[in-house]
Structure 1
């Protein structure tokens, strides 16, 4: 069989020929607007591995991206559902070796800000736009920036239990996985104290509770389908017996930024013995906290500062 040409010129030509003249998402029953950032659901999509999202295409993308933490992350070696994000970051393998041997090395590679890539970016920006269009004005008015990450993972690789600050759509392109998503509104599962730690910088703040596993919504996620994961919904993943390639389509939201500031403030005052009310319990308390937070807490630049896609500037 003839080897695929992965030179930049050939990849650009393939991207041009696969430019999204077709709809990329099907939503016949209005699930995107109905469930937006509240509950998970599965949906079909039309992005194909042949659009440049196969292993050679992803390997070429990894070479094109800046080799900094802002754009690439990888982890080598076995982990379990309770592993922290820094586990496996001793970088026993280089990024290039990790990608080249992904079928055998029990690793995950995350490529960030891929919507900016000249080869794969057009179809990813189109997908970002379609999600917002299907979700309607409530999402359009809420989005600050959007970003597309590409996830390349070994057979049977686990992605540990965690939550995200972004509104997420996990889209399977190659292989399959079992995705476990928990209810973000169940604060006996994901407590306000865990959310405070997370929003104050501890990305391992969510604590897996094995006795609650049966409460997860479990999805058999295969190529051609995606699942919406709302902000703050705990989830974890086990890949199938094959290399997996997936997209993580993320949106930073104004509403979440406000909530995050409240949780951060609550975490700071809890250290001094206070018992703060959770966000949303009292509107006037929230207003006071936000005003105090703006004076007392130095707000670092939000993560993802390299992201550039917005609903108003889609290209």
Structure 2
């Protein structure tokens, strides 16, 4: 039996999400798992590199553009174990560094991935676990991957927005890919709420602006993400375009001129190979 046990409605929702790259809600059966208990996650957090654990207070405004927020001064294992009452928000990044969680990630994405991106198969998979105290806020931000957020414990609301225009999306994607913070400097221009309780999930397309607000109980969510070659090429084009924009030019968004895109990618990769040879 599959881990998520996606029903036909959820499978059709993911296919629709892949067709129009819009957020879609799904149902799943990952509402309890031995690797997703607080104790198991506390052990995982303590075993991960420091760079793979991010945490801060959960009582934040909707917009924190620079991403700076106070953190709690306590051992990470204690922070995770006391998430029900300590007022914190935490994310465990790249959980696939632990072979057990890599297997969990693969089980989830083996059910999801091809429904969304079809034959443009993943070249990388990454998993993230979000732990939130009651009332915690994840400020308005964007993420660069294909993402399905699976609610395991507690309730939260993800609110997605749309861009005012394609240029705004392009500029923010360039900023992120050039090393900028994922957080945005303005609230959502439009709002669609996606209430999430255990057994509910939502697909979030790359670079979709969104904010997450936790409910009255502690929350555990699993984010399963993947990148395809097409998305990786787009990311590199955003990075290249960020350099071009600094010269005062206004580069076209990826996909607007495929021939120019291929030239940019080829030239950049050739330059990178030449650098490695010189070194």
The equivalent residue for 2:8 is 28
Deviation at 1:49, TM superposition (A): 2.3
Aligned residue among 66, 86, 103 for 1:105 = 86
- Measure the CA separation in 2 of the matches of 1:89 and 1:144: 35
Checking the alignment, whether the CA contact within 8 Å between 1:79 and 1:87 is kept in structure 2 is: no
The equivalent residue for 1:92 is 73
Q: 1:183 to 1:99 in 2, by over 3 A?
A: same
Q: Does 1:66 align with 2:44?
A: no
- Measure the CA separation in 2 of the matches of 1:79 and 1:66: 26
Structure 2 residues not aligned, in runs of 5+: 274-279
Q: Does 1:82 align with 2:63?
A: yes
Deviations 1:44-93 (CA, angstroms, capped at 9, x unpaired): 11112254423223223323x23321x32222353222114642365533
Q: 1:68 to 1:286 in 2, by over 3 A?
A: same
Q: Does 1:182 align with 2:161?
A: yes
Q: How does 1:297-312 map to 2 (within 5 A)?
A: none
Q: 1:266 to 1:41 in 2, by over 3 A?
A: same
Q: Which has the higher helix share?
A: 2
- Measure the CA separation in 1 of the matches of 2:129 and 2:66: 17
- Measure the CA separation in 2 of the matches of 1:187 and 1:267: 18
Q: 1:187 to 1:207 in 2, by over 3 A?
A: farther
Aligned residue among 223, 247, 262 for 2:237 = 262
Deviations 1:233-275 (CA, angstroms, capped at 9, x unpaired): 1111000011000001010221111111111111111111112
Deviates further, 284-293 or 150-159: 284-293
The equivalent residue for 1:129 is 110
Aligned residue among 128, 146, 152 for 1:173 = 152
Checking the alignment, whether the CA contact within 8 Å between 2:42 and 2:76 is kept in structure 1 is: no
Structure 1 residues not aligned, in runs of 5+: 1-20, 299-315
Q: 1:47 to 1:282 in 2, by over 3 A?
A: same
- Measure the CA separation in 2 of the matches of 1:280 and 1:118: 37
The equivalent residue for 1:159 is 138
Checking the alignment, whether the CA contact within 8 Å between 1:198 and 1:206 is kept in structure 2 is: no
**What's the C-alpha RMSD, in Å, of the aligned pairs?**
2.6
Q: Secondary structure at the match of 1:88?
A: coil
The equivalent residue for 1:219 is 194
Deviates further, 224-233 or 21-30: 21-30
Q: 1:287 to 1:79 in 2, by over 3 A?
A: same
Aligned residue among 209, 213, 219 for 1:234 = 209
The equivalent residue for 1:43 is 26
Q: 1:199 to 1:120 in 2, by over 3 A?
A: closer
